[in-house]
Amino acid sequence: MNKTKQRIEAFFFTNKGGVRSNNEDGLVIPGTLISDLSMAIPESYHGEVAHAIFCVADGIGGEQKGEVAAQLVLTHLRDHYLEVADEESFIKVVYGAKDQLEAYVKKNPDSSNLGCTLAGVIIQEDKAHVFNIGDCRVYRINGKFFERITKDHSVVQHLLEEGVITEDEMRYHPRKNIVTSSISGDGIKDSINVWFKTMVLRDQDMFFICSDGIWECFSQDELEMIYEKHPGYAFCEKVLIASLARQSSDNVTAILLSTSQT
């Protein structure tokens, strides 16, 4: 039986941003894992796949080696995403990544609590498994509109749901960086909250995956305006240039992913 393949076009970058001295973000696309690197310009990926993972991770902990956590978690997801068929199997893979962090902390006690947040899309034939842990995000692009699919695990997301602040006010709130879920080497057994949804891929579906450094730097309206004028590779290029010009206070990482059935 032939597997349904998707023709994939993806543009991506990760950069330390306008202020930070190092990059604790990382990303995975088919055949490539980028970690602890600051890219000057976006790169592109083209391929036909039945099964693939596109994922962004944001290391947390600063001096606690966030970039190490991002690399360990992304490596584990890259090596085990084929085991994901539903939410239950995804959670199992996630806790396998957590085990990697716990093992690292045992060998490096000065790295206690290292961890990361992440978001991504696993393509499985005609389906997309969309996920996040923490405040990295996945948007689905409908025409020129960005629809946020994932739900942040954060204090400001809770305030949004309570009606205390607006979506745009999340970007400036003093508690915007407090996440309520991450994959961490914290020694706590059931510490991860996962957002997971399986969607049927529409022909020419498009997704935008990003770390919190991006959505804190740009409102949704701004992203839509840039995308309308500069689709494809140019969108990632403009977003990267603008985030650096705005002296983004966090690392910035993004993947623009388009799919079409072969």
Q: Who contacts 59 (Cβ-Cβ below 8 Å, separation ≥6)?
A: 24, 25, 26, 65, 66, 67, 68, 69, 70, 114, 115, 116
Residue 129: both structure tokens together: 């498994």
Buried b / exposed e over 197-225, threshold 16 CB at 10 Å, is ebeebeeebbbbbbbbbbbbbbebeebbe
Q: How far is 8 from 31, CA to CA, in rounded Å?
A: 13
Length of the chain: 262
Q: Which amino acid is at 19?
A: V
Q: Is 232 helix (H, G, I), strand (E, B) or coil?
A: coil
Residue 223: both structure tokens together: 């992203």
Query: What pLDDT does residue 51 have?
Result: 97
Q: Is 245 helix (H, G, I), strand (E, B) or coil?
A: helix
Q: How far is 111 from 183, CA to CA, in rounded Å?
A: 14
Query: What pLDDT does residue 170 have?
Result: 85
Domains of the chain in start order, with CATH, are 6-261 (3.60.40.10)
Q: How far is 206 from 197, CA to CA, in rounded Å?
A: 16
Q: Which amino acid is at 137?
A: R
pLDDT digits (tens, 9 = 90+) for 36-46: 899 999 999 99
Concatenating the DSSP letter of every residue in 126-190 gives TEEEEEEESS-EEEEEETTEEEE-S---BHHHHHHHTTSS-TGGGGT-TTTT-BS--EE-SS-TT
Query: What pLDDT does residue 238 have?
Result: 98
pLDDT digits (tens, 9 = 90+) for 157-166: 889 889 999 8
The Cα-based distances of 3 to 49, 125, 200 in angstroms read 9, 7, 15
Q: What are the pLDDT tens digits along the chain (262 aa)?
A: 678 999 999 999 999 998 888 999 999 999 999 998 999 999 999 999 999 999 999 998 655 589 999 999 999 999 999 999 999 999 999 999 999 999 999 999 888 779 999 999 999 999 999 999 999 999 999 999 999 999 999 999 889 889 999 888 888 787 888 899 999 999 998 889 999 999 999 989 999 999 999 999 999 999 999 999 999 999 999 999 999 999 998 999 999 999 998 8
Query: What pLDDT does residue 177 have?
Result: 81
pTM: 0.96
